[in-house]
Amino acid sequence: MLLPLPERLREHAHRASNPVPPRDAATIAVVRDGAQGIEAFLMRRQASMAFAAGMYVFPGGGVHESDREPVDWIGPSAAEFAARLGCDADLAHALVVAAVRETFEETGVLLAGPGPDTVYGDTTGADMLAARDDLEAGRVSFAHFLEAHGLVLRADLIGVWAHWITPAFEPRRYDTRFFVAALPEGQAVGQISTEADRSLWAPLCAVLERVDAGDAAMMPPTAVTCRELAQHTAETVLAAAALRVVTPIEPRIVEVDGELFLETDRGEHV
pTM of the model: 0.88
DSSP summary character for residue 53: T
Distance CA 12, CA 252 (A): 12
Per residue of the chain (270 residues), give pLDDT as tens: 344 455 555 556 556 667 789 999 999 999 999 999 999 999 886 654 445 457 888 999 999 999 999 999 999 999 999 999 999 999 999 999 999 999 999 999 999 999 999 999 999 899 999 999 999 999 999 999 999 999 999 999 999 999 999 988 888 899 999 999 999 988 988 666 666 567 789 899 888 888 888 887 888 899 999 999 999 999 999 999 999 999 999 887 776 666 666 666 655 555
Distance CA 203, CA 192 (A): 19
Distance CA 177, CA 18 (A): 23
List C-alpha distances in Å: 112 to 98, 210, 232, 253. Answer: 13, 34, 24, 40
CATH fourth-level superfamily of 22-250: Nucleoside Triphosphate Pyrophosphohydrolase (3.90.79.10)
How large is the C-alpha radius of gyration of the chain?
A: 18
Q: What confidence score (pLDDT) does residue 62 get? A: 96
Q: What confidence score (pLDDT) does residue 50 get? A: 45
Q: What confidence score (pLDDT) does residue 49 get? A: 47
Q: What confidence score (pLDDT) does residue 189 get? A: 80
Domain boundaries, the chain: 22-250
